[in-house]
Amino acid sequence: KQEVTQIPAALSVPEGENLVLNCSFTDSAIYNLQWFRQDPGKGLTSLLLIQSSQREQTSGRLNASLDKSSGRSTLYIAASQPGDSATYLCAVKNSGYALNFGKGTSLLVTP
Amino acid sequence: EAGVAQSPRYKIIEKRQSVAFWCNPISGHATLYWYQQILGQGPKLLIQFQNNGVVDDSQLPKDRFSAERLKGVDSTLKIQPAKLEDSAVYLCASSSPDRNYGYTFGSGTRLTVV
């Protein structure tokens, strides 16, 4: 059974800092990995999708990497802003389509 | 493209009452999922549909939860009777049958059982 772990559970940084969120998974036989953002009381917004054959994906100030063999992914946020404050969820897709989620990292960027 | 639509956005009910949630996926997405997200946790899959057939409902509490997807498009999730521990956000998502495709989630329904 796939287990997804996210570290740290919570993070507080001053505005402008670069930061890294970590995700690890136990079963490396994945189809893809997806990073989501969730604002309080809201649904999930997809940030980046990395296929199993890819090493990284970039969108604006976000960069996600994938090391399938070691079961790890990182989400790098450059020049953080208060608007980046949210919970970030990592999810992996194995066979059968369903996503397995970590518990998320709660990020607070202070002005 | 229009996103995944869910309603209602919020619902407060008393324990032992019944409640229903509705989801309309992205047009053309054959796969539809219902997830339950308890506060402080990641979403947990309740049920997965492929067109109007159930692919996985192994984590659905079938004594009180039911779901259907008529005509392979809209879906409803029902809880009857509700318990206090059912308080959570219920998320609907849809995806293309292509396994390399990502998910799109709706805004969710926040259920509070009192």
For residue A43, give how far its alpha carbon lies from the nearest alpha carbon of chain B (Å). Answer: 4
Residue B49: alpha-carbon gap to chain centroid: 10
- B-chain residue closest to A9, CA distance: B40
Question: How many helices (DSSP H) and strands (DSSP E) are in chain B?
Answer: 0, 11
Instruction: Provide the residue-wise pLDDT of chain B in tens; the chain has 114 residues.
Output: 579 999 999 999 999 999 999 999 999 898 999 999 999 899 999 999 998 899 999 999 999 999 999 888 999 999 999 999 999 999 999 988 776 778 899 999 999 999
Q: What is the residue whose two structure tokens read 């779901």?
A: B67
Q: For residue B42, list chain A residues with Cβ-Cβ distance below 8 A.
A: 4, 89, 91, 101-104
For residue A21, give how far its alpha carbon lies from the nearest alpha carbon of chain B (Å). Answer: 15
**What pLDDT, on a 0 to 100 scale, did the predictor assign at position B99?**
66
**What pLDDT, on a 0 to 100 scale, did the predictor assign at position A96?**
67
Q: For residue A43, list chain B residues with Cβ-Cβ distance below 8 A.
A: 6, 91, 105-108
Give tens-digit pLDDT for A70-106: 999 999 999 999 999 999 999 999 876 688 999 999 9
What is the rounded CA–CA span in Å between residue B67 and residue B75?
7
Say yes or no: A97 contacts chain B, CB-CB below 8 A: yes
Helices (H), chain A: none
- B-chain residue closest to A54, CA distance: B100
Give, as one character, the DSSP assignment of residue A69.
Answer: T
For residue B49, give how far its alpha carbon lies from the nearest alpha carbon of chain A (Å). Answer: 10
Best mutation site among B100, B109, B112 for testing chain A: the one with the most A CBs within 10 Å? B100
The candidate with the shortest Cα–Cα distance to A25, out of A53, A67, A55, is A67
Say yes or no: A96 contacts chain B, CB-CB below 8 A: yes
**What pLDDT, on a 0 to 100 scale, did the predictor assign at position B13?**
98
For residue A85, give how far its alpha carbon lies from the nearest alpha carbon of chain B (Å). Answer: 16
Map residue A84 onto helix, strand or coil: helix
